[in-house]
Amino acid sequence: MYAIRGAISAKANTEKDILEATKEIMQNLMQENDLQKEDLISIITTTTDDLTKVYPGKALREIGYNLTPILCMQEMKVEMSSQKMIRLLIHVDGKRDKSQVKHQYLRNAKKLRPDLVE
């Protein structure tokens, strides 16, 4: 088993923007890491406390992750931290060297881990 991280900023605190951003980061993570839905064990999502209109898990269900356990949580509030962030932690069934995992940070989330952004 191994894990993949990803994050993306939502444009605004609307259901549409949260769902759109969640779908974008998930599809990007799956494509960049050459994964299939069957490869996933579970997905943990977090959002900053300023995203309140919908759970990111709803977006994941809408794009077909109906058999994968999904947990939605609120990110710890830290002074001066980034706003409107959605983060994913995906647990994958398989073996892959950590150096081969392609974590993804999109939109304003690029500043969270500049060391991982290509």
Is 96 tagged catalytic? no
Q: What is the DSSP letter of 70?
A: E
Identify the active-site residue in 2, 5, 32, 107: 5
2 is catalytic: no
Q: Please tell me which residue in 75, 96, 107, 118 is annotated as part of the active site.
A: 75
- Alpha-carbon gap, residue 71 to 85, rounded angstroms: 16
Whether 105 has a binding-site annotation, put simply, is yes
b vs e for 9-41, b when ≥16 Cβ sit within 10 Å of the residue's Cβ? bbeebeeebbbebbbbbbebbbeebebeeeebe
24 given a catalytic annotation: no
Is residue 105 flagged as an active site residue? yes
Please tell me which residue in 24, 65, 113, 118 is annotated as part of the active site: 113
Residues 6 or more apart in contact with residue 6 via CB below 8 angstroms = 25, 26, 28, 29, 87, 88, 90, 103, 104, 105, 106
Q: Note if 15 is an active site residue.
A: no
**Marked catalytic residue, from 24, 55, 65, 105:** 105
Q: Exactly one of 2, 32, 72, 96 is catalytic; name it.
A: 72
Which amino acids are annotated as binding site for prephenate, given as ranges? Answer: 5, 87, 105
Residues recognised as catalytic:
5, 61, 72, 75, 87, 105, 113
Which amino acids are annotated as binding site, given as ranges? Answer: 5, 87, 105
